[in-house]
Amino acid sequence: MTTLKGIKGDQIRYLDQDPVVQGVAGGTWSSGGDLSTAPYWLMGGGMGASTSSALASGGSPNSTSNELYNGTSWTEVNDLNTGGDGISPAGTASAGLAIGGRRAPNAYSNLVESWDGTNYTEIAEINTGRAVGASFGTQTSALIAGGDTPPYSTFTEIWNGSAWTEVNDLNTPKGHWAGAGTTTAGIAGGGGAAPVQTVAESWNGTSWTTVNSLNTGRYGLSSSGNGTQTSMIIFGGDSSGVKANTEFYDGSTWTEVADLATARYYGGGAGTSSSALAIGGEPSVAATEEWTTAPVNSLALQEGMLWFNSTSQTLKGYGLAAGIPVATWSSGGNLNTARDGLGAAGQTNSASLVFGGGPPAPLGGGAGVITESYNGSAWTEVNDLNTAKHYTAGQGTQTAALNFGGTLYPPGTNTNATEFWDGTNWTTVNSLNTARNTLGSGTLNAPVSIAVGGFLNPGVSGNVELWDGTNWTETTEINTARNAPFLSGNSANAICSGGSIEPGVQTLAEVWNGTSWTEVADINTARYNGSSAGTSTSALIYGGSNQAGTVDAETEFYNGTSWTEVNDLSNARNYFDGAGAASTNAIVAGGNAPGKTNATEEFTASAAVVTITTS
C-alpha cells in the first residue's frame, strides 16, 4: 500500500464505488460464451456490430462451421458452402461476406460467399485468390487488402454489390493483419510472419497512406471490424509468443489499453471500439471475450483524486504514487545503426543517448564509436567516441554522460578507458582501476556514477568503483562476483541483481547503501546481459539472457521489498544497455534479438488506483 503523503489530492470524496476511466481508455475484457469448437485461423475483422450479435465462420482445418452469437451463447446455423480458414469477413451478423481464404483442399481461393442471415450463397469472385487479408465494410460495399497469395500481396479490391474492382495497391505487402472502416475511410495494421510488422496504413477511398505504427508488432491479430477509421481496436496476435495486447486507434495514434484475459492469435474479431468480441483462436481457444467501455457519464478518474469507498471501507487514490507501475513497452524510432553491446545514458525515454557497440558484420571498429541521440521519436548521429568499444557501459544524462569499460577493436582485450560527453563531444578522462567488459552501470547522473562487476576475460569481477566527477575509486565489493548484472541507482544507493558467475546464471539481488552490500529478495527469473532503470527502491530490469542461453523479454519491477513481473518487452533481446532515472520511464535500443537490431522500445507508466494508509 502507499501512504497518504505519497499521492496528491485536494479533497476526499465519499463514494459507494470507485470512479472509472471513461471511454476506451477504461475499457475491459470479460468472459462470454464459448464456441462449440475451438477453431483458429478465423482471422481479421468480423461480422457483427456489437457484443450481442456476431457470426463466426470457417476456421481450421477447412471447416464449414458457422455459429451465431446472441450476447450470451453461440448457436450453430447454416454452414459455409465451401469450408476454409483465413477467410476475410465483412458486414454484420445478418448481412455479411466471407471473402477468399484457404478453401478445401487448402487452396488460396478467390471464392466469396454472401450471408443473408439464414444462408450463405456464392457470389462474384475476387480477382486475386488470397487468405488472411484485411477486410472491412458492408455486404454491398466492402474492401479486401493484402493477404497471402502467396507471397504477401499489395493488391486491394473493392466490392460494389455486384463486382470486385482492383484499385490502388498497399505501400507494403502484408498478410495476417486486420482492419476496420468503410470503402472510403479505412485503417489496417500489423501482419507478417517474418518479419512481424508494426506498420499501419490508412485508406481514403482512393489510395493507402502509411500512418503511425502499432506499439507491438504482431501477426494473426484481430480487430473490431465494424469500427471506424478514427476509432477501432486491434487485439491478440503473435510475435515471439502469443500476445494479449489490445491497442486503440483514434485516427492518429495507437494506444495500449487493457489486455485480453487469454492471449491468442488467428482468432476472430467483431464489433466496434466500444463493444467488441474476441472469438476463438490459437492455441485451441474456444473462449469468447467481450470488450466494453466505461459509460461517459460515470465519475471519471483524474490523477491526484482521493476518495473513501464506503462499500470496501478503504481510502483510495489515483496516481503514480506507489506499487507496481501500470505500464507497457511501446515502439520508438529505430537506431540508424543496428548493434549490440552498446552503452546508454539518459534520464527519460524522450531524451537519451547510446554509444559504441558491435557492428552489423563483420566484427570491426566501425560501429564501436558511433553515438546517437534520441528526442523521443527519432535517433540522430552525433559526434563519435574517441575509442571504439563493444560490451561497454554508460550512465548519466543526454548532455552529461560517462562511457566506461568494454572490449577494444582489435584485438578484443578489455579496456578501462573512460570518456565524458558534454552534450557535443567526448573527452577522454581518468580510467577505471580495473579493465573489464559487460559491467553493471547505474542509471543516475554521471557525477555520482557506479560501476559494478563485469567480465575480466577470464573470470568474473566483484569490483565496485565510484566516480566523483574526476576519478574512479575502488570501494567495497559485491558479495557475489558476477558478469553482466542489472544495476539501478547511483554511488550512494543502488541495487545489483542477476548476472552470471560463468556459467551459472543468477537470481541474487544486493542493495548498496553507500558503504556496504546487503542481499535482498531474489529476482524471479535468473538472467544477465539485460538492462535496468530506476533506483534501489523502485527498480526495473528487462531483457537479457536466461538460464537456457536464449534471449528474454521479461520485465520485473522492484518496490524495495520484492520483485514482480510486469509487461514484457515486445521483442526479446540481450547485450544492450538501457536508460531511465525512474522505473516508470525507461528506454531500450539495439541489442541482440537474436541478430543485431536497431529497434527501440519505450516503457511509460500510467496512473493506477491504489489503496492508501493514513500515515
* pLDDT, average across residues 45-51: 77
Top-level class of domain 31-294: mainly beta
Whats the size of the chain, residue-wise?
615
Q: HSE on the CB side for 375, CA within 13 Å?
A: 6
All three cell numbers of 75: 448457436
Query: Strand, helix or coil at 368?
Result: helix
Q: Which amino acid is at 609?
A: V
19: cis peptide before it, omega within 30°?
no
Distance CA 405, CA 425 (A): 18
> Residue 360: is its pLDDT beyond 80?
no
- Residue 303 region, left (φ>0) first, then alpha (ψ -120 to 50), else beta? beta
The CATH topology of domain 326-613 is Neuraminidase (2.120.10)
* Contact partners, residue 332, CB within 8 Å, separation at least 6: 349, 374, 376, 377, 587, 589, 600, 601, 602
All three cell numbers of 98: 466471407
Percentage of the chain lying above the pLDDT 90 cut: 55
pLDDT digits (tens, 9 = 90+) for 480-528: 999 999 998 888 889 999 999 877 899 999 999 989 999 999 999 999 9
- Residue 581 region, left (φ>0) first, then alpha (ψ -120 to 50), else beta? alpha
State the pLDDT at residue 373.
92
Q: Between vectors from CA 494 to CA 491 and to CA 497, what angle results, nearest 5°?
A: 135
State the pLDDT at residue 548.
83
Looking up cell 469500427, which residue turns up? Answer: 227
**Whole-Å CA distances, 425 to 267, 385, 420, 421:** 52, 8, 8, 6
Kindly report which listed range (26-30, 68-72, 459-463) carries the lowest average pLDDT score: 26-30
Q: Where would I find the beta strands (DSSP E) of 51-174?
A: 53-57, 66-69, 74-76, 84-85, 88-91, 96-99, 102-103, 107-108, 112-115, 120-122, 134-137, 142-145, 156-159, 164-167
Contact 199, 177 (CB under 8 A): no
What separation, in Å, do the N-terminal and C-terminal C-alpha atoms of the chain show? 11
What are the residue ranges spanned by the domains of the chain? 2-20+302-319, 31-294, 326-613
* pLDDT, average across residues 336-353: 87
Distance CA 23, CA 232 (A): 12
What average pLDDT does the structure give for the chain? Answer: 86
**Whole-Å CA distances, 336 to 263, 347, 575, 590:** 33, 21, 18, 10
pLDDT digits (tens, 9 = 90+) for 137-194: 999 999 999 999 999 999 999 999 999 999 999 999 999 999 999 999 999 999 986 6
State CA 58 to chain mean position distance: 30
Distance CA 114, CA 119 (A): 8
pLDDT digits (tens, 9 = 90+) for 441-493: 866 555 568 999 999 988 999 999 998 889 999 999 999 999 999 998 888 88
